[in-house]
Chains A and B, each alone.
Chain A
């Protein structure tokens, strides 16, 4: 894969996936890092859920 086809987590929140792919920095989940990535995804899911509950509390 060309470096230009790889991507990394963008700095700008306005960046799209397509833009992210154009970022010339390599990133790839090695098999031994799968658990680390899963933990990161779980943490994000937990955070989003927490915010939703918080918004619901504000509304109550």
Chain B
């Protein structure tokens, strides 16, 4: 795993080969009207990728988003000092009483302790900012902001 300080701090890792990555949305200004769920998630990821501050040098792409109520995705791509491209995706599966991290090679790992707290903070921030910036809603009530 890339030795990104922030990356390891926030405890984001890797996963599978499923099509969980989202293409970048080019236009900045657009109404939400007529956007599909997938497009809304793309917009959310634009916020999600900013939660971790400036990406380390060499980072070419970073995504963090909520795919569905039980799935969170972290994805990062970067080029190392030799110019070789790397990518890593982690899927966090939220269950009733636990959180599972799924990484490439079908590795499943229970998320606990500090890593779970890191994920919780990231999710709380994501929710707060996405509700306000994308949906213009109060994160607590869900009501539209005036």
Contact = CB atoms under 8 A, between A and B. Distances in A.
Interface in B1-52: 6, 9-10, 32-37, 40-41, 44, 50-52
Contact of B132 (A13, A21, A47): A13
Contacts of B142: 47, 50-51
A16 B51 contact: yes
The A interface is mostly helix, strand or loop, or mixed, namely helix
Given A29-B112, A34-B97, A59-B33, A48 B9 contact: no
B113 interface: yes
B70 A45 contact: yes
A17 B114 contact: no
A3 interface: no
A15 B125 contact: yes
A28 B7 CA distance: 18
B117 interface: yes
Given A13-B128, A52-B40, A34 B123 contact: no
A55 B124 contact: no
Nearest to B10: A17
B96 interface: yes
Contacts of A31: 112-113
B53 interface: yes
Interface in A34-52: 34-35, 37-42, 44-52
In the A-B complex, list the 7 residue pairs whose CB atoms are closest, starting with the nearest.
A45-B69, A18-B53, A35-B97, A13-B128, A29-B116, A29-B117, A41-B94
9 contacts: A18-B6, A41-B119, A44-B126, A44-B127, A45-B94, A48-B66, A48-B130, A52-B37, A56-B40
